[in-house]
Amino acid sequence: MQINLQIFENGAATSCAVAELIKEKVKATPDGKFLNIAVSGGTTPRMLFELLGNEYEKAIDWKKVRLFWVDERCVEPTDSESNFGMTYDAFLQKTLLPGENIFRMKGEEIPEFEAERYRDLLRKELPARGGYPVFDLILLGMGNDGHTASIFPNDLSLIDSELSVAVNINPYTQQKRITLTGNTINNAAQIVFIITGENKSKILKEIVQSAPTATNYPATHIGNSKGKVDFFVDKTAASKL
C-alpha cells in the first residue's frame, strides 16, 4: 500500500487539515453533484466535527455534501456510545447540512436488518464498481490494536467480505456493531486515516514500516483502488517513526 503520511503539530492541526481537505473537495464538486463522505466514530474525529460545526460552517457549501457512516455501535442514537450521537452533538445539531443529506446507520434497530437496509441504501444512493459502493471520501480511525471501522484483529475476514455492510462484534466488549467492510472502504476514491495520540504510535510504526506483524492489523489492509491511503497523524502518534 502506498501510504501518504502527513504529520501535524497536534490534534487540532490534524483536524484542521482534514477540514481543509473536505472544503477543497466540496469546492471541486460540480454543481448538481454530491460529495459522498463516510465518517467514523470513536473519540478522535470529535475535534474535526466541532471544527466543521463552527469555523467551517459557512466555509463549506453543505448542500453538496452527503454524510454516511463507516460504522455504528448497536445502541440508541442518544446513547453515549453512539457514533451518530457524538457527531450530532459536535456538529450536526448546528449544521447547514440538509437533513435529507444525512444517512445514519440506525444502531437501535436489529443489527442484521439494519445492515441489510444500509446495503440497499448504498446500492440506491451511490455509484458502484465491482459490485461495491463507491464513496468519494472515507474518514477512518485506528484503535491501538490496529482495528479500523468495526473490523478487529481477531477476524480479518470482513476485509474481503462479499457483503458491502456487515454486522460484527467488538471482541473486547461483545458490543454488536454495523460496519462497512474492507471491499467497500477500499473502493473509495480517497481514504484518510485520522490518527492522534501516543497510544497509537507503536501500531502506526509497524504499519508505516511494513513490519511483519502489521499484517495482523485490519488498518494495514486498507487502500483505495490505486493502492493509496492517506495518514493524517499528529506528532505524538508519529513519535516512534
Q: Which three cell numbers stand for residue 48?
A: 474535526
Q: Is 111 near ligand 6PG (CB under 6 A)?
A: no
Q: Is 40 near ligand 6PG (CB under 6 A)?
A: yes
Q: Is 43 near ligand 6PG (CB under 6 A)?
A: yes
**Interface mask (CB under 6 A) for ligand 6PG, residues 122-161, using x and -?**
-------------------xxx---xxxx-----------
Among 38, 65, 70, 90, binds ligand 6PG (CB under 6 A): 70
Q: Looking at beta carbons only, is 64 or 178 nearer to ligand 6PG?
A: 178
Q: What is the nearest approach in angstroms of ligand 6PG to the Cβ of residue 196?
A: 8
The CA-atom distances, in angstroms, between 40 and each of 159, 206, 216 are 16, 22, 21
Q: What number of residues does the chain have? A: 241
Q: Which three cell numbers stand for residue 91?
A: 456538529
Q: Which helix (H) or strand (E) holds 120?
A: helix 111-125
Q: Is 184 near ligand 6PG (CB under 6 A)?
A: no
Round to whole Å and give the CA distance between 88 and 38. 14
What residues numbered 80-109 form the site for ligand 6PG, per CB under 6 A?
A: 83
Q: Looking at beta carbons only, is 44 or 224 nearer to ligand 6PG?
A: 44
The piece of 38-46, 90-98, 181-189, 224-232 that touches ligand 6PG (CB under 6 A) is 38-46
Q: Is 218 near ligand 6PG (CB under 6 A)?
A: no
Q: Is 182 near ligand 6PG (CB under 6 A)?
A: no
Q: What is the nearest approach in angstroms of ligand 6PG to the Cβ of residue 40?
A: 4
Q: Which three cell numbers stand for residue 79?
A: 446513547
Q: Looking at beta carbons only, is 83 or 184 nearer to ligand 6PG?
A: 83
Specify the amino acid at residue 85. G
Q: Is 71 near ligand 6PG (CB under 6 A)?
A: yes
Q: Which three cell numbers stand for residue 43?
A: 473519540
Alpha carbon dihedral 146, 147, 149, 152, in 10-degree steps, equals 160
Q: State the residue for C-alpha cell 471520501.
A: 137
Could you tell me whether strands 165-169 and 176-180 are parallel, antiparallel, or unpaired per DSSP bridges? antiparallel
Query: Which of 37, 7, 3, 83 minimizes the C-alpha distance to 240?
Result: 7
Q: Which helix (H) or strand (E) holds 67?
A: strand 65-69
3-state secondary structure of 165: strand
Q: Is 11 near ligand 6PG (CB under 6 A)?
A: no
Applying CB under 6 A, the residues found at the interface with ligand 6PG are 40-44, 70-71, 73, 83, 141-143, 147-150
